[in-house]
A and B are shown apart, each in its own frame.
Chain A
Amino acid sequence: MTPRMVNAATISGKPRQVAGSSSSLSRSRVDFATLGRAPMRLGIGTRRITSRDLQIVEASEELLEAEIPEPEGVAQDVSLIRGFNATIPSADKGRSRRRQTRNVDAPRMGLKKLGMSARGLMVDEEEHEGESVASEEDVVMVGRPEPRGRNLRPKKKGRQSLSAGKVIGTDELKRQTHEIKRDKENLHVRKSLIEGEIKEISHKIQTLDNLRAKLQEDLLKLQEDELELDDELEGVKERLDIEESRSRPPKARTQQPHVAQSSRRRKGPAFLPSEHDELPPGVAFMSLTGHNGPITALDFSEPYGTLVTASQEEFAPKVWDLLSGEEIGRLKGHRSTVKCIQVEDHVCLTGGEDGSVRLWDLRRVDEDEDWDKESEIVSLSEIAEEEEVDEFGGRTKAKTNGSIRQGESEAGSVSEKEGPCVRVLEGHSKAVTALYFEDDCLVTGASDKTMRQWDLTTGQCVMTMDILWAISHPPTAGPGLFPGAAAAAGTFAVPTPPYADGTWDMYQDFVGAVQFWGYALMSGSGDGAVRMWDMRTGQPHRTLFGHTGPVTSLQFDELHAVTGSLDKSIRIWDLRTGGIFETLKYDHAVTGLQFDTRKVVAAAGENGLKVYNRTSMQHSTLITNGHTRPVQKLRYMDKYMVSGGRDSIVKVWAL
């Protein structure tokens, strides 16, 4: 007895623990009830309490705490038990049973054999008569008015239809109608269940799709960052070379690394004051006013350095200090509008409508106190700058760009130049509309449809490349250019499509843009063709067709060339194949552009600057505190951009 009591006590103890503090039951009943359960647990049920049991009991504690919202949607329409009854296998039994009632007693035809042999399967065994029936109770005996003997009668009276002889019975038929109705309801239930599932899954797919789109965006962002890092690496390597060579004493000429990278090709990040990072991106934080007419050209030496801008109305480009935003001087000398400018450190080259190209030393702008003084124009033949040759090799200083300036500060005897203008290069007969120089080599393009290569140390024109000749003698037969090309023989003048403010010009610059690297020169001209020249021979070896309007701006790097034209498009060319990589369409003519591995910034006839992100293929516009009339020209270095527009204002942006 004692062990039983002890057992009863322990068992009653355990359920009591588990039940916890009950709400509605009195304690005595609990005790007795649990005690009453003891015999069941001990004797009758041989099953031990498993972990599962405890699990569910513990879980139920948690479940009881959970909230119970109102049922809605599928839960409201189809209760669980209905779904159960609709989907369990026995739900289909009715249908098979009904089919059996329609079984007609027909002479054995061996249909199965026929069917199997038609499928190409072997029929091994003889079948036994009669199909199997699910359960006895479902077999319904149908009355057979005809005795079996009918089959023995040899004389055929003509076949009656199979169903004629069958009588099923009204009770059975009523039962069948009920069954069919129920089956239909079941089907309806199953349909709604499946529809609910489909909706749920669609919702899940939607969420996953959204997630995927987000991840793809993030991936693109990372790719862009990678490109930026690549550029930075190149910049850092260059810097390393420069600093290394600086630490080494200057040795023989042959060992010098190529320290002077044109600012146009330099890829790495620029040196910016730390405050620049605090600027909000995409905002024009400085405006330089002072010009009277639309800006025609601009360039700067470095961010927060020296800026040179030229406008339509004034023939002397203005020189600005970007740190203070003040004008520090003017470059007087040109007799007409300046159409193109390039600045490298303190060397500035300008090409004007008067057909001359002037070389300026920007350090001497401050010296020129008296702005009214006329600077003398010295023609080419008078120049004999032999003394500059010894400076030619002196490239040990960082950021030097040839020895032109050194020669000037020392010389003084022959070159009687006053003010900042160092040299004048004459030769073109019409307006010089595009120029590009690197170290000592300068290439200019003019409206006389020629391009000239100059040596900046001597000031001599080394080569003249005739575009007109190239047009009429194409190296390979190319596709026809746009109709304006036919007029190339005469004076070239094409009306530009209207800008965003409705104005338009007569575009007369036959050579819109030039750039070279080593011996490879690329030019964009008024016939819409982009030509690649070999500067050693002076012959074009390849022409890229595609633009349907004059090319106004051009830039290339090792992989791609980007050209903008009056046909409202920018084309990105693959230099290896010569094919068009991408075409960007705009609403107005493109007058200026610059690109790097990650973006293309374009002046496309609107007040805002259009930026195209090359990795994410997204367009955006820079308009905050921007121009009030269409932008004409732009130039950027790393995160610092300068743009000039038809509103005569020059704006400085933080990118």
Chain B
Amino acid sequence: MPSELPYAADAEESLSFDELQVLRLQYEKEISQSHVTVQTTFNYAWGLVKSPMKDHQVEGVRLLGELYRNEPTRRRECLYYLGLGHYKLGNYEQARRFNNLLLDKEPTNLQAQSLASLIDKKVTQEGYIGMAIAGGAAALGTLVLAAIIRRAHK
């Protein structure tokens, strides 16, 4: 049965501070009662991941990881969310691995496919930047070398 998942764009929209606060309070209340439900944890984690702040995203991904570990029935969905979370953080390696696990199970899942393409795009982007830097570094390096050799010749 295909999982119902949000597109990656949904992760870019963040909740308002108040809403996030409500989710945080709900989560903390359940912790104090020592019975945390899956839904509350997910709500809070997802709210954190959607937020633009890196710290929140990291915390969100951590909570999603715990959810993954504790609830075997929810793991398939969590694969997607973990992939999305790592994608936002910039850990493309991890993101790709999680997403690929999901695609193994559900090759026809649209959201997973779209996330895969997004990750690839980002990775190539960074690759270009990296190549540019490397190229620039190489260019500078040859210039310096040329300068030294010229000096040596003189």
Contacts and interface: CB of A to CB of B under 8 A. Distances in A.
A276 interface: no
Interface stretch (A25-33, A113-121, A379-387, A412-420): A25-33
B90 A55 contact: no
Interface string A84-121: 10011110000000000000000000000000000000
B126 A33 contact: yes
B87 interface: no
B137 A50 contact: no
Which one of A5, A64, A193 has the highest number of Cβ atoms from chain B below 10 Å of its Cβ?
Answer: A64
Contacts of B74: 71, 75, 80
A55 B105 CA distance: 27
Interface in A32-91: 32-40, 45, 47, 50, 52-53, 55-57, 59-60, 62-64, 66-76, 79-84, 87-90
A35 B132 CA distance: 9
B140 interface: yes
A66 B133 contact: no
Contacts of B69: 62-63, 66
Contact of A71 (B1, B65, B90): B1
Interface string B1-43: 1011110000000010011001100000000000101110011
Contacts of B73: 69, 71-76
Given A67-B72, A75-B73, A88-B19, A36 B65 contact: no
Contacts of A45: 54
Given A59-B62, A66-B68, A84-B46, A33 B1 contact: no
Given A36-B125, A56-B65, A71-B73, A76 B58 contact: no
A74 B6 CA distance: 19
Nearest to A5: B137
B133 A71 contact: no
A358 to B, nearest CB: 76
A24 interface: yes
Given A45-B54, A79-B5, A57 B91 contact: yes
Contact of A90 (B19, B92, B124, B137): B19
Contacts of B6: 81
Contacts of A37: 90, 126, 129-130
Interface residues of B, number: 66
Nearest to B136: A1
Interface of A, secondary structure class, is: helix
A68 B82 contact: no
B130 A35 contact: yes
Interface string A201-213: 1000000000000
A274 to B, nearest CB: 54
Contact of A52 (B23, B59, B132): B59
Contacts of A84: 39, 42-43, 46
A582 interface: no
Contacts of B37: 193, 197
Contact of B39 (A70, A76, A87): A87
A8 interface: yes
A23 B132 CA distance: 25
A19 interface: yes
B75 A33 contact: no
Nearest to B62: A56
Contacts of A59: 62, 65
Which one of A73, A81, A84, A88 has the highest number of Cβ atoms from chain B below 10 Å of its Cβ?
Answer: A81
A254 interface: no
Contacts of B92: 33
The 6 A-B residue pairs with the shortest CB-CB distance, nearest first, are: A32-B130, A36-B126, A36-B129, A35-B130, A36-B130, A75-B73
15 contacts: A8-B137, A15-B93, A29-B124, A32-B129, A32-B131, A32-B134, A38-B130, A57-B91, A59-B65, A75-B77, A80-B39, A81-B4, A81-B5, A81-B46, A88-B15
